[in-house]
Amino acid sequence: MIRFIPSVREDPAVSTVQGQCDPAFAAVQEVFEQNFADGLEVGAGVAVHAGGRKVVDLWGGVADRRTGREWRADTPAFGFSCTKAVTATAALLLAERGEVDLEAPVASWWPEYGRRGKDRTTGAHLLSHQAGQPAFERSVSAEEAADTAARAADLAGQAPEWEPGTAHGYHALTYGWLAGEIVRRVSGLPVGEYIAREFAGGRDLWIGAPDDVIERAAKLTARRGAADPGGADAPRAVGDDDVLARLASAATDPASAMNRALNNPHPGKGGFNNPVVLRAGWPSAGMIATAPALAGFYADLIAGRILRPGTLADALRPRVSGPDRTMLVDSAFGLGYMRPSMTFFTPRAGRETAFGHTGAGGSIGLGDAAAGLAVAYLPNGMGDQLSGDLRAYRLVEAAYASL
């Protein structure tokens, strides 16, 4: 039985945590509330499905710090790279239907792409960050990024930075105009329109949001409060200090692969609150969704209601694992989905079976067919990734522990 959860906070800046939570998953609620109590949140939503039903739907805080607007049940938030899993699912659905062969050269359906050492690049390379095109060669504005065909043409004209298929490096933003081009070329529709037609219709989930959704969406903001303390059970890498030093150096070096990949196109005035970006719906990092909608997407995915189980199982088979040329830590990817690694922290219970995608600032979407679990967490208080933001990890950990 799911019960309504009222939760009262004395600090008016931290709005009441509200929603519904099955008593068996009270640990998720406790972690969520503690994040607010510790000053780690501005506003956020978290949702969990387990055993084929929704067991957690909680929200709290403020959606817009400037106006004080509260986060509500239907407040959508920007999902950053959680978008990539949705875009990949669209491409996988087309492949499942026999409309595209992901193991064939990209040039077989995108002739212009087979130039400058890219003639052997496959659709699977595009989906698994092996294409060697983690960044645009020239600076691209938010307005230019809205022209999907032109940006895809830019990438078709570029030479890869490594031989496709021989290494992997996170294609933070170019992914949307590479993997997304599978959908646009084959279906004839932009990614946002295709997913709305095929599996996102009726959900509060958009890649390319209408103005009324943009108006009520949560506004991204920097957190003001305590640093995330981590904890004894927090995931750690060997040589953490060296890793953090490399990341900090790459983040401030304009020529580094990380900097070039993460910051071009630039979202422009207002950052990722810029309506130009939100309307365009970058297929790599442009989704706006509520936590229940994103969790529901993963629940349908693991239940076989979007892709056949065999299609999903093959997509989850790790295509790459190990040093990431862009992010400088180990990462692992199937066809579009992250697998457990240093870029996708997963509790021990899910390290063999979990999949999904994280997003900048702390967001996550996760599915686990073996556990029957789907989780989504979308905050608007941007976390500091270099310091190891573990808000999402602790929520996922609590969900697994509650099974």
Query: Taking the CA of residue 391 as centre, how many other CA atoms within 13 Å lie in the half-sphere pointing to its CB?
Result: 38
**What predicted TM-score, i.e. pTM, was given to this entire model?**
0.93
Residue 14 neighbours by CB distance under 10 Å: 20
Cα 346 from Cα 341, distance rounded (Å) = 8
Distances, alpha carbon 230 to alpha carbons 80, 205, 233, 387, 395, in Å: 23, 31, 8, 9, 13
Calculate mean pLDDT across residues 363-381: 98
Calculate mean pLDDT across residues 62-71: 97
The pLDDT value recorded for residue 343 is 92
Is residue 196 very low, low, confident or very high in pLDDT (cuts 50, 70, 90)? Answer: very high
| 268 beta partners | none
Per-residue model confidence as pLDDT tens digits over 286-344: 999 999 999 999 999 999 999 999 999 999 999 999 999 999 999 999 999 999 999 99
Percent of the chain with pLDDT over 70: 90
Q: Residue 364: which of 181, 350, 315, 246 has the closest Cα?
A: 350
The pLDDT value recorded for residue 13 is 41
Q: Residue 82: which of 326, 296, 356, 290 has the closest Cα?
A: 356
The pLDDT value recorded for residue 210 is 97
The pLDDT value recorded for residue 233 is 45
Report which of residues 136 and 245 the model is more confident about: 136
Cα angle 83-85-86, degrees, rounded to a multiple of 5: 65
The pLDDT value recorded for residue 201 is 87
Calculate mean pLDDT across residues 108-132: 98
Cα 301 from Cα 159, distance rounded (Å) = 35
The pLDDT value recorded for residue 361 is 87
Query: Taking the CA of residue 125 as centre, how many other CA atoms within 13 Å lie in the half-sphere pointing to its CB?
Result: 21
Judged against a pLDDT cut of 60, whether residue 3 lies above it is answered with no
Judged against a pLDDT cut of 80, whether residue 399 lies above it is answered with yes
Cα 25 from Cα 56, distance rounded (Å) = 7
Per-residue model confidence as pLDDT tens digits over 234-281: 455 445 557 667 777 777 788 899 999 999 999 999 999 999 999 999
Judged against a pLDDT cut of 50, whether residue 7 lies above it is answered with no
Domains, the chain: 3-78+206-255+283-308+345-401 (3.40.710)
Per-residue model confidence as pLDDT tens digits over 160-193: 999 999 999 999 999 999 999 999 999 999 999 9
The pLDDT value recorded for residue 249 is 79
Distances, alpha carbon 53 to alpha carbons 8, 49, 142, 150, 292, in Å: 27, 5, 39, 42, 12
Report which of residues 255 and 194 the model is more confident about: 194
The pLDDT value recorded for residue 228 is 52
Round the average pLDDT of the chain to a whole number and report it: 91
Say which amino acid occupies 327: M
The pLDDT value recorded for residue 306 is 98
Residue 223 neighbours by CB distance under 10 Å: 22
The pLDDT value recorded for residue 224 is 62
Report which of residues 396 and 8 the model is more confident about: 396
